[in-house]
Structures are given as structure tokens and as C-alpha cells.
Amino acid sequence: MRIHRLKLSGFKSFVEPAELRIEPGLTGIVGPNGCGKSNLLEAIRWVMGESSPKSMRGGGMEDVIFAGTAHRPPRAFAEVVLKADTVARGDTTREELEVVRRIERGAGSAYRINGRDVRAKDVALIFADAATGAHSPALVSQGRIAAVIAAKPAERRAMLEEAAGIAGLHVRRKDAEQRLRATEANLARLDDIMAGLD
């Protein structure tokens, strides 16, 4: 997957709609203190499904919405659009992917993939399968390198699994196990009912 465009509106300090082109290769963000460099990286993580307000440096998820200044009123919503090229496994055709996450005050987050309403989980899986995501080591924020050095073996393993694109398999395995347990419970109930009919 190659991310090539990012659009922000009402997200943290990006009150006016802003659009960024991301060129191939390594991208660095430079600028004076407080200009919004970390906010940009957080926007990428957020649209990929980040669910922890703490890792967005906020107390609640609505803190990502532009909070207003002495001269500007707060915004009612924040929206981030990410555009990327993807290649399906075992295929060579490139497909355009557009992921949108929007949060409104009092209404929570809503996600869309290529114009279709989806769940947060669907968004996280699409990025996990492409070996990226909200916790991808490819997004190097401040303090991240020190955190990688200090990580425990299990945390390092999670990073490697994410980089290898297999993190989504764990989620699918958990889902499958839950469905299996529900089916086993249904079968046991059916056995009881059949025994009652004998």
C-alpha cells in the first residue's frame, strides 16, 4: 500500500481544510515548535482506526476536533481522508483506496471505505493486511525510537507481526473462535431440545 494523499478538516490545529501530497520514499515533517507536525502523524494514525484518545494526546476522542481559539469558534466535527494505492494479495493490479474517518461532537466516529459505510474493525483490518496501521513502525513519531529500543520481547514481536502483515490474522482468528464457541453453544442447546422431544 502506498499512501499518496491526506486531507484534513477541523482536525486539531488544522481548522481550515488542508491537503497534502505524500511522495514515494521516506517522508519527514519539519517546522517550528507547535506548528502541527505531530498532529499530522496523528491524523494518519487516527484515520487508520486509532482507538486510544491517550495516544492522540487527548482525554477523549472528541479532543481531536478543533477546539477554537480566542478568534475562532470551535468546530463541530473533524474529518481526515487518506488516499492510497493498494495491491491485493496474489495480484498485481493497483486499486485506489479512499478511507474517511469523521467524528462529530456527541455522535462518535464514522468510517467510510471507497464511499461505503464500514466499521472501525474493517478499516483496521485493511491496513493490517497491507502491513501498516495506526501502530505501524513506519510512522516514526517523537519518542518512538526510544520506545522501540526499550520494548519488551512481546512488544517487539507485535511490531514484527505488524510489519509482516499478519497482525490481522490474529483478529480474524479471535472472531472465528468466538463464532465457533457460539455455534457449539447452539449445538448443545439443540441436543437438549432434541432430548426433550424423545
Q: Which residues bind ligand ATP (CB under 6 A)?
A: 12-13, 31, 33-39, 63, 65-67
What is the rounded CA–CA span in Å between residue 44 and residue 151? 23
90 annotated to a ligand binding site: no
Minimum distance from residue 87 beta carbon to ligand ATP (Å): 32
Minimum distance from residue 102 beta carbon to ligand ATP (Å): 15
Minimum distance from residue 67 beta carbon to ligand ATP (Å): 4
Whichever of 119 and 144 has its CB closer to ligand ATP, that residue is 144
List residues bridging with 82 in a β-sheet: 6, 99
Q: Indicate the residue type of 117.
A: D
Minimum distance from residue 49 beta carbon to ligand ATP (Å): 19
Could you give the angle at the alpha carbon of 107 between the alpha carbons of 68 and 174, nearest 5°? 120
32 annotated to a ligand binding site: yes
186 annotated to a ligand binding site: no
Residues 85, 29 contacting (CB under 8 angstroms): no
Buried (b) or exposed (e) across 80-104, using 16+ Cβ within 10 A?
A: bbbbbebeeeeeeeeeebebbbbbb
Cell matching residue 128:
493490517
Whichever of 75 and 135 has its CB closer to ligand ATP, that residue is 75
What is the rounded CA–CA span in Å between residue 139 and residue 19? 19
Burial status of residue 77 (CB atoms within 10 A of its CB: 0-12, 13-18, 19 or more): middle
Residues 39, 12 contacting (CB under 8 angstroms): yes
Whichever of 53 and 165 has its CB closer to ligand ATP, that residue is 53
Minimum distance from residue 128 beta carbon to ligand ATP (Å): 26
Whichever of 38 and 55 has its CB closer to ligand ATP, that residue is 38
35 annotated to a ligand binding site: yes
196 annotated to a ligand binding site: no
Whichever of 74 and 191 has its CB closer to ligand ATP, that residue is 74
Residues annotated within a binding site: 32-39
- Give the residue ranges of the annotated binding site for ATP: 32-39
